[in-house]
Structure 1
């Protein structure tokens, strides 16, 4: 009993001792500093949470307070985000407070310099490098998908390809619509050579007031890419790697062998009835095939994607250095294809004296591509499922009554290899002769040497798929671009309230490209003999101009003078203007110079005296701007009409050889003597804000821009003109809309934080004017019919089709007589929308809990249409989708949803126009960061492992492979129309698309 009593006393003593210890007060001291400059913040309130006990920091940001050892301290100060810190028995607690106005104080990269966000009068979206590097994509442009309002990305699944980027709609009708990229001062249209891990930041300049400093190059927008550099401090080594596989996201359910045979026989019978022919059926109705080959499965695979890179960086007071190397490999999903990229980069800066620094930046990239024909996707869709991949004797299978080649054979017989080496970099010197004045001179260059070989062996699958004589194409492409800039920047604050920032400069550019494509026959089928000297010399020819392999070259020179001035009063009112004068060799002598400009202002409302007592807004800013920019890419080098020789292959041989052909000369194309830049004028206004101690931030913007676009106008037949088109400024296209972005970020404790982000753009694209009665037609189906018409009052590339009105007594389409004249003609066509989305949006979210991190983002389009061209263009006896087979019209199924089987291409109609709305889950990433205190080998290192799913799901009603379609193939347009491959008037037509795929991967990030 005594022992029990003693035991109870001991327990009570320990309890009260613990309670006493928990309530024990200790002295805590520390320093509170600003997150931007690291300086101490005076006057910060330091309170013991739940009490009125507190103190304030002194002039240096130091504080001292007595509090219970298990208490929580709260640190708060006006214009800074509040923080809470548990004491946990600590005697020293240092705190870093972030400005609630940090978004406004943030330094943003702009054209030819940097500015505080509070001083920017244009629309600029910034994307963190972490948002890009977590995705298994080749370029930073693909990583922008859904991350910035006003930016739309259309990416092909083909390895090594660049995406199409559209900023605030499409303005150019037939020309290049992609923005320019400025990588550390080097202007380029291709950033596939940049390792994403080397990127520090990406800024998208979206309106004319932000873009005008780049003048004639900025008509489609500007994307600034700043790469990483060394920072003063000890050496840091970063290792990043991931590996995974890609697979098709969506498939199309095609008819099996038996269903295809039934449909083909019906199509022949119905076509005979319609045309009066008497073609026999292909398949024996009493012995229908039972075999089904899944051709899409035969040509695709789960392709490997992998990336490995390492960087070393650091610096001293005199030198900063950054070195990196990386490898990226992508097989894609098409059998046999492969893309490899090796990169190496150096970025060093040397501080020679307090007023003098020099630096250099060099990226070396080597690419290797093994290409396979993407047309095999179309062949796999159309090929008869009853045909085997290979016959019993090993030969390739085919269906003689079908004019579609064996897609597996097409892959096996294609030998298409290319490689290139690219050097991109700059060297610069900065001199500061006076306080506030910086003089900078730099030389930037981009040099590419590329070559390729395409070998076609002798083969014969059947009459429509054979090659009777081997051939070898040898392609060489070389380009050297350089730009020299000289600029002066002056920054000065007068009387504490007046701040002036001015930049003025001069630049000179030279861009030279040479291309050649030679073909020779009878080259042996041995890869080590694939050289021109191994073929028949008499067959050596210069290949006529084709897609990207045309013989010849380009030489473009530009001279520019530019300037920008920004005045800020009392950190409340900003006014900024820029002016650029460009001269280009791409235009006629009398029109080589153009002037581009912008003017804008902003008002930092929260810095007004009447806002000091409010606690709702941390920052509130209003901005407005207007400007004019240009685009010289659309008609570059189209200013000269030159004589060129015509080969015999360019003639129609009328009665040859009775009338011998003599080689002659002809004009290659008529030219407009008044040709100049495409110009875009626009106004932009926006409201930016931060609220609730920096947790909520966002922006709302309005824009309205008008592009005066060049179009190739068809001329009457002119003797000696081989083309009969004239590029002229003949259309005006308007894009106007509203965009919004909202972000919420909150740190609940040291162990838990989360973020949410949403952006949306509402864009209205409309053709304002077309010269005369010229019609902008496009989207040919190969039978003389076109599918789009860009008419005044309608969007570019609007689908212009016949409206179906049920089926006739034979199951064929009936069309509405819209104008009531008793005939079905072009006058009965109707507009049913375009591929230009009315709304596009993105959403992202992230959670950090202890050592785990989870992120998620999605994007989508609303209000656009797609023309299902692959379903519409069905030449004789090709396969069909199972839905079409099951729902086709037959005498016993007159209440059908699809027409009777037929072997003709019907008129373009509303039947083939589908909704392009979609929602795609873009990225899901789960990561875990190891505790370096528990893993001895880490010590001062940081190790994070992660798993990622890229594009795992898409939600859409579209029946094709993907609702994201970059552009149609080349068109065979009727007289009086135009249709340039990939142009806006061909967008949204699915004919032969490399499907977007899903990627699943694992990776790690290691820093030490």
Structure 2
């Protein structure tokens, strides 16, 4: 006898208000009155083998009258009339509608759903039965995910739901995108994001897709699955299948919501009177006198001559909204689907906004029974305006650093610059003023036109031609007045104009053959050829000393100096041949072999072609005779796969020596950029071991994967031979490894006639490690020259994400300093209250030779847990994520404690005789003579970043069919959701999730735009 399994029916019975919590009350509506004229129906429900099914839901359609089967699979139900219709539903089985037609006994046999046996899953350039899969492929139903957490971002649908796919938000700014990584980091020079394939066409943009338009999402994780994408598959592949037109009468769907955003965690500022007294201590330490009198401090306390910079920059709330509508219809010959979405996001800081418009038109035509045609046009327009919230001069950090005792404007109305400690800190209100008065623009346009034609040559053999054209443009114009931050640092007004255009064409021809050879043999084969051409043009112009700030970037020739900073034209072509064969024997043994050969103009003639093979095997133990009749076991499959995938980590024309020219004011400067004709593909070799299991008629599902992958020939900057005349250049010299495991667990703890509870958990561990760096001139390699990179190093044999700097053991106390037995450095000069660093080489000097690894920002584990509850017409979803085992370098804390600021921790600084055991240095000229928070990291500011975040809570109510039929609606749902509910962490800074968005320097808090807590109210309606 098979165990309990039951599909919950949201309209299963009449809602009784006494059974619902008070705070849900406003969602509820009374059900229609049940007729008193009743007839008793009895019977049993069995599966196709004759086993009774326990907990099957039986509902009289059009009413809330229902019941479930008992332990013997039998039921009894009083119905309203002899003409009633019963609906039988059960998890994993096909739903049945049966008319009573005067009968008293109705026995039912239920068939298993095709989703359990023959569900089709999208794979590269084709589809396969889910039961035939041999690789590591995870999938989600987009509609279900969107219902659990309403969002306008596709990445939000995936976060925490697929083991091995790491998604972290890069900023809390309006319209900010997330960082996606599949199974770690494979390259130290190239983008490590997964390849996005939309409706079969590679190179898509997640931001251009409305989540409500998506039917399903598959993530290909192991090399046996991604190798068919060859040189672009090393970082994983995300396959998105959008909804297709359906024949039938015209239908309209609307989804809209309004959001009230508030600061998730507003940074605290020291009370102004405490800051003023601390400023006096600072001034005494440096200049021997007070800065503020007692009268001034009293005025500050009473609110005079002060300004709340944080309160005037971080808003209490921000209102955003989203609206999308789709229209579909057609007949058996021609059908269409049109959808459009508009999103307005307002940031909680300053005047940051983001507006996005998505649109899509999809048409399918059945020209004949064998000949089909389809087209899909979609795109996006994005407009952004915001403030600087990243880096050493981020608005958030400056708002915490600028003293409340310095008013934003002087008597003439000019922006106040500099601070009381003469460090020349920029006034953060200048950012807000710039957004209010200038005409900066930042626009992005992307459009894709896709078309296909397919013809069934013979039964099972189909030819398909697909073509795509994509056109993109990004431009921005920025004017920085003399009072802006950049103008303040430069001493003059500035302007920048950037224009980037791209065009691409791709054609793919495939032949697919699917055949049931006989009862025990099944085959699915695909062969194809793909060609692509892409072109891009980038132009950037900068100017200084504007004669008219109001004209600004719109006419930069009026400036004192104007130069062309970038003018790049590139063209690349590629051609590929690929094939795959999937063979299934007796539904027990599966094998898949894939091969792809890529050629690209990015590389020199001798290295532009390479091969990417893979194979995978699977053994379905459930189909073995010894386990076939084990009723509690639904599935048990073992998998193994190996393959090679690649990464196009090469910029256009890298094989050729180039001259980089800077043109301005009639002069041209050249810089030699050495070419490398022997550069080749980065190639990732990966082994994958997996197990899939399911129990108790789908009540429990479990997947485990272990992988070991190694990227060879990774491109790195190495020392070149002396006879080249150049110091360094790019070579295939490095080696990177990623090892880890993934666990996915699904459990249905409880299901009854009215109540349903489902829990899904995903857990992943990955360790990315530099195995080899190649011929470099030191024991480590710096990430780059950009700000923030100086805090990180790559070491051969060490994990990626090593934070590098000085090891601090606190602050010199007066007792330690006066103890002659304690060795002190001869350089730099120290005193009581100075930072105390470990002299690693015992040289008596604290310098660069004492730098060591002081932390690592790469998380060891991440997980997600989703709990879904359904009670009658109500549904509740609670979603959590967690990241563990990583460090954060708190740059804002280092900066804010290195100078005079109203940062609260400065109150806990070293003070002679009062706070001798402090971790923050005291005031004085020698407080820290070697480290600067801009260039050198100190272990004092390395903190544990582990966190658990309650990501969202969503409560929804589905209106009854009876009510909707009276107002000509087919479906309606109202919902309320809270996002970023709370974060449990010991980290003292901003949202720790934002610090791990850069995979090459994870764990760096740069004072990024703060996260929002969002309160969302929405409505779904179908006509």
In structure 2, which of residues 121, 141, 162 is the aligned counterpart of residue 148 of structure 1?
162
The aligned residue for residue 220 of structure 2 is 205
1:861: how far off? 0.5
The aligned residue for residue 823 of structure 2 is none
Contact (CA 8 Å) 2:260, 2:1016: kept in 1 or not? Answer: yes
- The 1:609–1:675 alpha-carbon spacing in structure 2 relative to 1, beyond 3 Å, is same
Q: SS of the counterpart of 1:386?
A: coil
Q: How does 1:85-124 map to 2 (within 5 A)?
A: 97=110, 99=112, 102-103=115-116, 105-124=118-137
- The 1:910–1:462 alpha-carbon spacing in structure 2 relative to 1, beyond 3 Å, is closer
For 1:573 and 1:216, the matched residues in 2 are separated by 29
Q: How does 1:340-359 map to 2 (within 5 A)?
A: 340-359=355-374
1:633: how far off? 3.4
In structure 1, which of residues 552, 560, 575 is the aligned counterpart of residue 568 of structure 2?
552
- The 1:282–1:178 alpha-carbon spacing in structure 2 relative to 1, beyond 3 Å, is farther
The aligned residue for residue 530 of structure 2 is 507
In structure 2, which of residues 231, 251, 255 is the aligned counterpart of residue 240 of structure 1?
255
TM-score by length of 2: 0.83
For 1:883 and 1:742, the matched residues in 2 are separated by 43
The aligned residue for residue 455 of structure 2 is 431
1:818: how far off? 4.3
**1:503-531 deviation per Cα after TM superposition (whole angstroms, max 9, x unaligned):** 0101111121112223457778697x567
In structure 1, which of residues 504, 508, 518 is the aligned counterpart of residue 541 of structure 2?
518
Contact (CA 8 Å) 2:48, 2:110: kept in 1 or not? Answer: no
Contact (CA 8 Å) 2:430, 2:484: kept in 1 or not? Answer: no
1:145: how far off? 1.1
For 1:784 and 1:316, the matched residues in 2 are separated by 58
Contact (CA 8 Å) 2:574, 2:600: kept in 1 or not? Answer: yes
For 1:427 and 1:785, the matched residues in 2 are separated by 44
1:787: how far off? 2.7
- The 1:718–1:267 alpha-carbon spacing in structure 2 relative to 1, beyond 3 Å, is farther
The reply on whether 1:711 has 2:727 as its aligned counterpart is no
The reply on whether 1:797 has 2:809 as its aligned counterpart is no
Q: SS of the counterpart of 1:933?
A: helix
- The 1:866–1:419 alpha-carbon spacing in structure 2 relative to 1, beyond 3 Å, is same
1:96: how far off? 8.9
1:288: how far off? 6.1
Contact (CA 8 Å) 1:396, 1:461: kept in 2 or not? Answer: no
1:589: how far off? 1.9
Contact (CA 8 Å) 1:875, 1:903: kept in 2 or not? Answer: no
The reply on whether 1:487 has 2:480 as its aligned counterpart is no
**1:419-478 deviation per Cα after TM superposition (whole angstroms, max 9, x unaligned):** 233211310000101111010001012211333221234548999468644x54333221
The reply on whether 1:411 has 2:415 as its aligned counterpart is no
The aligned residue for residue 912 of structure 1 is 941
Contact (CA 8 Å) 1:387, 1:399: kept in 2 or not? Answer: no
The reply on whether 1:449 has 2:468 as its aligned counterpart is no
The reply on whether 1:682 has 2:686 as its aligned counterpart is yes
The aligned residue for residue 994 of structure 1 is 1009
- The 1:303–1:184 alpha-carbon spacing in structure 2 relative to 1, beyond 3 Å, is same
- The 1:602–1:294 alpha-carbon spacing in structure 2 relative to 1, beyond 3 Å, is farther
Q: SS of the counterpart of 1:327?
A: strand
Q: SS of the counterpart of 1:424?
A: strand
**1:362-416 deviation per Cα after TM superposition (whole angstroms, max 9, x unaligned):** 1132222223322322321322232223456544344442422121222212442
For 1:388 and 1:306, the matched residues in 2 are separated by 35
Q: SS of the counterpart of 1:872?
A: helix
1:821: how far off? 5.6
Q: Which runs of 5+ in 1 are unaligned?
A: 1-20, 33-40, 51-64, 273-278, 545-549, 650-660, 969-981
For 1:499 and 1:570, the matched residues in 2 are separated by 8
In structure 2, which of residues 769, 773, 779 is the aligned counterpart of residue 770 of structure 1?
773
Q: SS of the counterpart of 1:109?
A: strand
For 2:599 and 2:877, the matched residues in 1 are separated by 47
Q: SS of the counterpart of 1:396?
A: coil
The aligned residue for residue 822 of structure 2 is none
Contact (CA 8 Å) 1:345, 1:364: kept in 2 or not? Answer: yes
The aligned residue for residue 869 of structure 2 is 847
In structure 2, which of residues 396, 404, 414 is the aligned counterpart of residue 385 of structure 1?
404
The reply on whether 1:755 has 2:758 as its aligned counterpart is yes
Computed over aligned residues only, the root mean square deviation of the Cα atoms, in angstroms, reads 3.7
In structure 1, which of residues 812, 827, 846 is the aligned counterpart of residue 834 of structure 2?
812
In structure 2, which of residues 614, 622, 627 is the aligned counterpart of residue 606 of structure 1?
622
Q: SS of the counterpart of 2:802?
A: coil
- The 1:95–1:256 alpha-carbon spacing in structure 2 relative to 1, beyond 3 Å, is farther
Contact (CA 8 Å) 1:474, 1:517: kept in 2 or not? Answer: yes
Q: SS of the counterpart of 1:410?
A: helix
Alignment coverage as a number of residue pairs: 922
The aligned residue for residue 884 of structure 2 is 862
The more displaced of 875-884 and 862-871 is 875-884
Contact (CA 8 Å) 1:377, 1:994: kept in 2 or not? Answer: yes
Q: How does 1:821-900 map to 2 (within 5 A)?
A: 824-826=846-848, 828-873=850-895, 877-879=899-901, 881-900=903-922
Contact (CA 8 Å) 2:570, 2:652: kept in 1 or not? Answer: no
- The 1:583–1:822 alpha-carbon spacing in structure 2 relative to 1, beyond 3 Å, is same
The reply on whether 1:741 has 2:744 as its aligned counterpart is yes
- The 1:908–1:717 alpha-carbon spacing in structure 2 relative to 1, beyond 3 Å, is farther
Q: How does 1:112-261 map to 2 (within 5 A)?
A: 112-134=125-147, 135=149, 137-155=151-169, 156-188=171-203, 190-261=205-276
- The 1:99–1:553 alpha-carbon spacing in structure 2 relative to 1, beyond 3 Å, is farther
1:551: how far off? 2.9
- The 1:727–1:139 alpha-carbon spacing in structure 2 relative to 1, beyond 3 Å, is farther
For 2:135 and 2:458, the matched residues in 1 are separated by 29
For 2:365 and 2:477, the matched residues in 1 are separated by 44
Contact (CA 8 Å) 1:256, 1:292: kept in 2 or not? Answer: no
For 2:543 and 2:501, the matched residues in 1 are separated by 21
The aligned residue for residue 603 of structure 2 is 587
Contact (CA 8 Å) 1:257, 1:293: kept in 2 or not? Answer: no
The aligned residue for residue 291 of structure 2 is 283
The aligned residue for residue 19 of structure 2 is none
The aligned residue for residue 7 of structure 2 is none
Contact (CA 8 Å) 1:628, 1:679: kept in 2 or not? Answer: yes
The aligned residue for residue 56 of structure 1 is none
For 2:90 and 2:624, the matched residues in 1 are separated by 18
1:294: how far off? 3.5
**1:198-242 deviation per Cα after TM superposition (whole angstroms, max 9, x unaligned):** 111111111111111111111211111111112233333211001
Contact (CA 8 Å) 1:48, 1:73: kept in 2 or not? Answer: no
The more displaced of 76-85 and 169-178 is 76-85
For 1:610 and 1:512, the matched residues in 2 are separated by 59
For 2:693 and 2:486, the matched residues in 1 are separated by 67
Contact (CA 8 Å) 2:545, 2:561: kept in 1 or not? Answer: no
For 1:466 and 1:772, the matched residues in 2 are separated by 39
Q: Which runs of 5+ in 2 are unaligned?
A: 1-35, 57-72, 80-84, 818-831
1:776: how far off? 4.0
The aligned residue for residue 11 of structure 1 is none
Contact (CA 8 Å) 1:489, 1:503: kept in 2 or not? Answer: yes
The aligned residue for residue 963 of structure 1 is 992
1:299: how far off? 1.5
For 1:78 and 1:421, the matched residues in 2 are separated by 44
Contact (CA 8 Å) 1:733, 1:767: kept in 2 or not? Answer: yes
For 2:310 and 2:396, the matched residues in 1 are separated by 7
Contact (CA 8 Å) 1:49, 1:74: kept in 2 or not? Answer: no
**1:50-79 deviation per Cα after TM superposition (whole angstroms, max 9, x unaligned):** 9xxxxxxxxxxxxxx998555999999999
Contact (CA 8 Å) 1:23, 1:68: kept in 2 or not? Answer: no
In structure 2, which of residues 469, 493, 496 is the aligned counterpart of residue 473 of structure 1?
496
- The 1:246–1:68 alpha-carbon spacing in structure 2 relative to 1, beyond 3 Å, is closer
1:161: how far off? 3.2
The more displaced of 837-846 and 930-939 is 930-939
Q: SS of the counterpart of 2:225?
A: helix
The more displaced of 349-358 and 76-85 is 76-85
